[in-house]
A and B are shown apart, each in its own frame.
Chain A
Amino acid sequence: MDPLSTAETWAREGRAVALATVVETWGSAPRPVGSHLVIDGDGLFEGSVSGGCVEGAVVSEAADVIETGRPRLLEFGVADETAWRVGLSCGGRIKVFVEKVA
């Protein structure tokens, strides 16, 4: 399923929706710039911004974005501890923009 179509469908159904987009990558990154992950208010998601490594972290950040309505720019990489914790072990770094759909 295409994440952008899913985002529109979910929003029209009245669900709270956030859209995450890979905006920058360095080194070996599993998904190219422009890849989308769509998340709803219950944490249900479609699409991907990595090979499954950081989706969990993005989904929890999305909950805040949905609540506040303010976009966030997240960065994951092997160099910082958070990234190790969420496991971007492929050696790359990515920046993910998370915004509310409304």
Chain B
Amino acid sequence: MRLDLLAELNAVRDARRAACIVTELASGDQRLVIEPEASDPFAEKIRNAFASGKSTTAESIDGKAVFLNVHVPSPRLVVLGAVHVSQTLAPMAATLGYEVTVLDPRTAFAAPERFPGVDLVAEWPDVALPRLGLDPFTAFAALTHDPKIDDPGLSAALAAGCFYVGALGSRKTHAARRDRLAATGVKAADFDRIRAPIGLPIGAASPAEIAVSIMAEITAALRKPEIRA
């Protein structure tokens, strides 16, 4: 690999963006793809590889073996609300390989004793989120049930293109949320990306079971983005 190409790849990875190195195996010719163009013969394969995180081999039109090595950032989960569900959700997501941050401006909730070993931030979302840098490889779950806290977080997650945006609350709560966010300029198409009521419908009863339903929904959003429960 040319050193300048390697340096460019490393810079893209540091910026938490997806990248693909396309290598023609016989000659060693290589190129870096960040956004596959429509004219790229491997555009679809690269997009699929970005979604699955799996590198793959392919064949060019003239029959040459090609390797598509994808580099995707590790997924992150930002949980807004240091609530009972989050106490199970945070360690569960960490086990699944997510970098996890729990955010809650209410210091009684965001107490380190309640979240041992978890990255805990006791700040308002509009203060903390720009620093945390939400991105398309981040899942965002709003669990405070308090519009003052959840709403600005949800707006930021939608604007950042988080691959998963979920919010706790009944259908009625969610309808009221739709009106409030519309009033702040959130477009309907963006709002419709919010999964609410949050979690897969598995009949979850306890806070830990709700955490399971949320984590399963996040996993589906990451691995099978075309499926929406």
Contacts and interface: CB of A to CB of B under 8 A. Distances in A.
A33 interface: yes
A37 to B, nearest CB: 13
B208 to A, nearest CB: 31
B173 interface: no
Interface in A14-32: 19, 21, 23-24, 32
A101 B3 CA distance: 6
B10 A97 contact: no
B55 A4 contact: no
A19 B1 CA distance: 8
B57 A8 contact: no
Interface majority SS on A: helix, strand, loop or mixed? Answer: mixed
Nearest to A65: B28
Nearest to A5: B10
Interface residues of A, number: 21
Interface majority SS on B: helix, strand, loop or mixed? Answer: mixed
Nearest to B23: A97
Nearest to A70: B28
Interface residues of B, number: 21
Contact of A102 (B3, B7, B10, B27): B3
A7 B56 contact: no
A65 B71 CA distance: 24
Nearest to B7: A8
A73 interface: yes
A66 B115 CA distance: 50
Nearest to B2: A102
A60 to B, nearest CB: 19
B6 A33 contact: no
B9 interface: yes
B25 A73 contact: yes
A102 B7 CA distance: 11
B69 interface: yes
B180 interface: no
Contact of A97 (B25, B56, B71): B25
Given A4-B6, A7-B6, A71-B28, A97 B13 contact: no
A69 B87 CA distance: 53
Contacts of B28: 70-71, 99
A73 B57 CA distance: 13
Contacts of A32: 54-55
Interface string A52-72: 000000000000000000110
A34 interface: yes
B6 A11 contact: yes
B67 interface: yes
Contacts of A100: 1
A99 B6 CA distance: 12
13 contacts: A4-B6, A4-B9, A7-B1, A7-B6, A8-B7, A11-B6, A12-B3, A19-B6, A23-B55, A32-B54, A34-B69, A71-B28, A99-B23
The 4 A-B residue pairs with the shortest CB-CB distance in the complex, in nearest-first order: A34-B55, A71-B28, A23-B67, A33-B55
Interface of B: 1-3, 6-7, 9-10, 13, 23, 25-28, 54-57, 67, 69-71
